[in-house]
């Protein structure tokens, strides 16, 4: 389970509350981007307090090979963990990743987009810190 970490991801920007958020819902067999293109912001039921996005890979022993990408509403954090366990217990699933968050619309972006932003930020900080620590002694700041 992964919590969201983008700006305002826990805010209520679309009229839902944290106990009844609006989450993006979609299903795609090609990519998160395709899922995002089809996504609809949907008001979740009153028993739902989390949004999720997940991807899973169908095993070669299943009738269909490939990956599935989904977004939607889920009851709570334990349900999020249980969702992953349920999919992994199937002999037809090789991999399963589930990401849950709170706040309306928090499951908007793709996992890959989040990862690239974090990676680039870390790289910039690393290079800046390396240049500051290895300045020649005669260099004045």
Distances in Å between the alpha carbon of 45 and those of 49, 67, 72, 122, 140?
9, 27, 11, 38, 61
Q: What is the DSSP letter of 20?
A: B
Q: What pLDDT score does 33 carry?
A: 92
Average pLDDT, the chain: 76
Which residue matches tokens 């944290």? 18
Distances in Å between the alpha carbon of 50 and those of 5, 8, 29?
14, 15, 23
> Is the pTM here over 0.85, yes or no?
no
Diameter over CA atoms, the chain: 68
pLDDT tens-place string over residues 117-129: 444 544 554 545 4
pLDDT tens-place string over residues 75-108: 998 998 899 888 888 878 889 999 999 999 999 9
Q: What pLDDT score does 112 carry?
A: 46
Q: What pLDDT score does 27 carry?
A: 97
pLDDT at 8 over 90: no
Strand, helix or coil at 76?
A: coil
Q: How confident is the model at residue 141 (pLDDT cuts 50, 70, 90)?
A: low
Q: What pLDDT score does 111 carry?
A: 55
| Domain annotation for the chain: domains and CATH numbers | 22-127 (2.10.60.10)
């Amino acid at each position: 389970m992964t919590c969201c970490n983008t700006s305002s991801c826990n805010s209520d920007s679309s009229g839902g509350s944290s106990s009844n958020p609006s989450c993006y819902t979609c299903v795609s067999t090609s990519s998160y981007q395709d899922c995002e293109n089809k996504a609809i912001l949907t008001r979740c039921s009153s028993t739902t307090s989390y949004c999720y996005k997940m991807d899973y890979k169908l095993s070669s022993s299943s009738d269909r090979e490939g990956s599935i990408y989904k977004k939607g509403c889920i009851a709570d954090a334990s349900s999020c963990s249980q969702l992953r366990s349920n999919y992994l217990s199937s002999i037809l699933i090789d991999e399963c990743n589930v990401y849950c968050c709170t706040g309306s619309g928090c499951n908007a972006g793709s996992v890959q987009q989040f990862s690239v932003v974090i990676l680039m930020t870390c790289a910039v900080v690393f290079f800046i810190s390396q240049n500051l620590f290895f300045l020649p002694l005669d260099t004045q700041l």
